Amino acid sequence: MAFFTVVWKYTDDAELIDRARGAHAAYLKEQVAAGLVRVAGPFEDGTGGVLVAEVADQAELKSLLDGDPYVAQGVVVDSQIYPFKPVLGALAG
């Protein structure tokens, strides 16, 4: 398994974000319960968010992200993905 940090920038369309928020939250809760998303949350200013996923590879990560309503409904306008190696804290192995 590998860790990836995903940094998202959201659209400025507040109505679109509001419409997608419930489905997005439900989806992420399912992924947390499945152990694929380890931590997630928005920036305090609402311009984007971060999640840390633990998946087999980038193909599984792509599938995970593509299934998120924020991606599918166009809330996410930019996505940066970084392989991540936790060495300290709760995620460190």
Alpha helix stretches (DSSP H) within 1-93: 14-33, 58-66, 69-72
pLDDT number for residue 73: 98
Splitting the chain (93 residues) into consecutive groups of 10 residues, what average pLDDT does each group show? 98 97 98 98 97 98 98 98 96 88
* Domain map (residue ranges) of the chain: 2-84
The pLDDT of residue 40: 97
Please give the pLDDT value at position 41: 97
pLDDT at 93: 78
2-84 — its CATH code?
A: 3.30.70.1060
